[in-house]
Structure 1
Amino acid sequence: MAVPLVVGVDGSEASLEAVEWAAGEALRHEVPLHLLHAAAADHEAPDLVAAASERARKSAPAVRLSSEVLYEDAASALVGKGRNALALVLGSRGLGDLAGLLLGSVSLAVAARADCPVVVVRGGVEHRHGRFGSVVVGVEDGEGSGTAVQFAFREAHVRRCRLVAVHAWSVPDGNPGPPGLSGYALQTQRRPPARVLRDALAGPAERYRDVAVSSDVVEGPARRALLDTASRADLLVVGARRRHGHVGLQLGLVNHAVLHHAPCPIAVVPQI
């Protein structure tokens, strides 16, 4: 049996939008869609799941659908299901979140703990329904982006759209380098930003030769570069490193920023 795509449902409009998005994603990847509602105690659980199932079938009638109710902590239940899932899909806000929060507490907890990719469905209709024909992936120097780049290529492949790879760089504070060197020239002495992108894309590009790729090297904060590019994208993909000696992922400032502010669905992909 194919590994399912799992979506968390809680009855909120944000979670129903996530169900719609996940139904289309399951069809693209030809995998089953599993709806999961988890709470310590909830007498309305069967009705919530039924409403979510109806939304999924209306959005994608051909999707293979199953559902489940678990009476336990929602974040823990989702993380547990993620150990045998293609990805976890969540809404950006839940019923229990305070009005001022930009991202639900359950979504943030799951993104920081899951073993599989976590997609938080954000943005308006045009971003959720693939109207831009673009997947954006953030590429950092080192090995932290490898799995994210592979995920992004696969998404661009199944969506038959272009991939935009973004690498942002800046000269470290307090290290101006030799007199007369520009910031880019100084960075080039270490590892040229264009080479960072080229090396990260080489392997997956060979596998997914049908995917049109464009590279964008940006001087400045990564969060700004990613959010700007994502304004014209259907999906933003970022990587997350494993914590050394601790359970979970290292969600740094950039990941937190895009999880809270991305204008489109965002996928956080753990480094393997």
Structure 2
Amino acid sequence: MSAPVVVGVDGSPSSMEAVEVAAREARMRGTGLKAVRAFDRPGTHVPLGPSPLGPVGGGLRQEVELSLAEAVQRARSTVPGTQVTGAAVAGEPLAVLEAQSKDAVLVVVGSRGLGGFSGLLLGSTAVHLSARGRCPVMVVRGRPDPTGPVLLGVDGSPEGAAAVAFAFAEASLRGTDLVALHAWNAWRPPEPGAPDLPVPPVYDADWIRDEEERLLTEALAGRREEHPDLKVHRRLLRARTRQALIDASGSAQLVVVGARGRGGFAGLLLGSVSQALLHHAHCPVAVVRPGQA
């Protein structure tokens, strides 16, 4: 069987929701699902087995096995017939899931897990894994529109090409439309490595818009031929990219973005637009790094 979809499990309601989404993703791809529960033994001496002072069924191992069994059962009931396996792996959750992503086609996690502070919008594992995963990472959040399109954030950068390919494939798998949205402002940062980029001698909104239209066209070029039956809607907006995508996510079933886009600082693994969507999008968000699709 091909590489599985991996879902991170910790027993929280958020991770159980991620299990259901991951099971459907595995079915669409015709592959198996692997539920992974990472456990990092605390510094305090919490027994792996039952405590002599506690109930017979207590202990960390028992809790891990119970939450993993619940996740496997939830996946099988969500998508009957899907091959589902479970694995309890010792280690810090981010490190464990990053290692699992090397052999996965997709990693799915909830937006918040156990131990998260109630005021936080996103768990640390989700945001860090989106920046470091070895395959596309889907963070389950919000209330997706099951009849809505897949929303693709297009920035025209070479780093975003993998996200474009992933979004086309995902929309085709789901049997829905693709909305390719590109937002632009009056000023745009220069392309790295492209010092000959034409710059208007004076401010010219029409000139900039034409350039952004060209950029959107080039970003989508060739993908329609690979998915001839896919309906693609192009949206070019003069707006702030983050807010435009967050607003559009309200009627989408999935948002797809690259990890870093045009104008991002070279040292950052995850750009500001991606981070904003992980915190505020109204539906699940897939983050795709270069070379992953």
Q: Give the TM-score, by structure 1 length.
A: 0.90
Of 173, 183, 188, 2:205 maps to 183
Cα distance in 1 between the residues matched to 2:153 and 2:244: 9
Cα distance in 1 between the residues matched to 2:223 and 2:147: 22
Q: Is 2:153–2:245's contact at 8 Å kept on the other side of the alignment?
A: yes
| Residue matched to 1:197 | 216
| Residue matched to 1:104 | 123
Compared CA separation, residues 12 and 123, structure 1 to 2 (3 A)? same
Root mean square deviation, CA, Å: 2.3
Q: Does 1:251 align with 2:270?
A: yes
Q: Is 1:123–1:264's contact at 8 Å kept on the other side of the alignment?
A: yes
| Partner deviation per Cα, 1:214-241 (whole Å, 9 max, x = no partner) | 0000112111111111110000000124
Compared CA separation, residues 244 and 233, structure 1 to 2 (3 A)? closer
Q: Is 2:153–2:257's contact at 8 Å kept on the other side of the alignment?
A: yes
Runs of 4+ in 1 over 6 A off after TM superposition: 242-246
Alignment length, in residue pairs? 262
Cα distance in 2 between the residues matched to 1:59 and 1:111: 25
Using the TM superposition, give the Cα deviation of residue 154 of structure 1 relative to its aligned residue in structure 2, in angstroms.
Answer: 0.5
Q: Is 1:89–1:118's contact at 8 Å kept on the other side of the alignment?
A: yes
Of 85, 104, 111, 1:92 maps to 111
| Residue matched to 2:192 | none
| Residue matched to 1:15 | 15
In our comparison, the structure showing a higher alpha carbon Rg is: 2
Using the TM superposition, give the Cα deviation of residue 196 of structure 1 relative to its aligned residue in structure 2, in angstroms.
Answer: 1.3
Q: How does 1:155-234 map to 2 (within 5 A)?
A: 155-172=170-187, 178=201, 182-188=204-210, 192-234=211-253
| Partner deviation per Cα, 1:30-66 (whole Å, 9 max, x = no partner) | 0100000001133211000011111111111111111
Identify unmatched segments of 5+ residues in structure 1.
none
Of 111, 115, 133, 2:134 maps to 115
| Residue matched to 1:38 | 38
Q: Does 1:132 align with 2:147?
A: yes
Cα distance in 2 between the residues matched to 1:109 and 1:144: 18
Compared CA separation, residues 187 and 217, structure 1 to 2 (3 A)? closer
Cα distance in 2 between the residues matched to 1:173 and 1:164: 22
Using the TM superposition, give the Cα deviation of residue 115 of structure 1 relative to its aligned residue in structure 2, in angstroms.
Answer: 1.4
Using the TM superposition, give the Cα deviation of residue 18 of structure 1 relative to its aligned residue in structure 2, in angstroms.
Answer: 0.2
Using the TM superposition, give the Cα deviation of residue 117 of structure 1 relative to its aligned residue in structure 2, in angstroms.
Answer: 0.4
| Residue matched to 2:90 | 71
Of 236, 239, 242, 2:258 maps to 239
AA matched with 1:184: D
Using the TM superposition, give the Cα deviation of residue 19 of structure 1 relative to its aligned residue in structure 2, in angstroms.
Answer: 0.2
AA matched with 1:109: H
Cα distance in 2 between the residues matched to 1:149 and 1:103: 25
Q: Which secondary structure state, in structure 2, belongs to the residue aligned with residue 2 of structure 1?
A: coil
State the percentage of identical aligned residues.
Answer: 40
Cα distance in 1 between the residues matched to 2:188 and 2:31: 47
Cα distance in 1 between the residues matched to 2:32 and 2:138: 16
AA matched with 2:277: V
Cα distance in 1 between the residues matched to 2:170 and 2:36: 23
Compared CA separation, residues 186 and 25, structure 1 to 2 (3 A)? closer
AA matched with 1:193: E
Q: Does 1:263 align with 2:282?
A: yes
Q: Is 2:4–2:33's contact at 8 Å kept on the other side of the alignment?
A: yes
Of 126, 131, 149, 2:164 maps to 149
| Partner deviation per Cα, 1:158-197 (whole Å, 9 max, x = no partner) | 11100000111112289x9655x54233453xxx111111
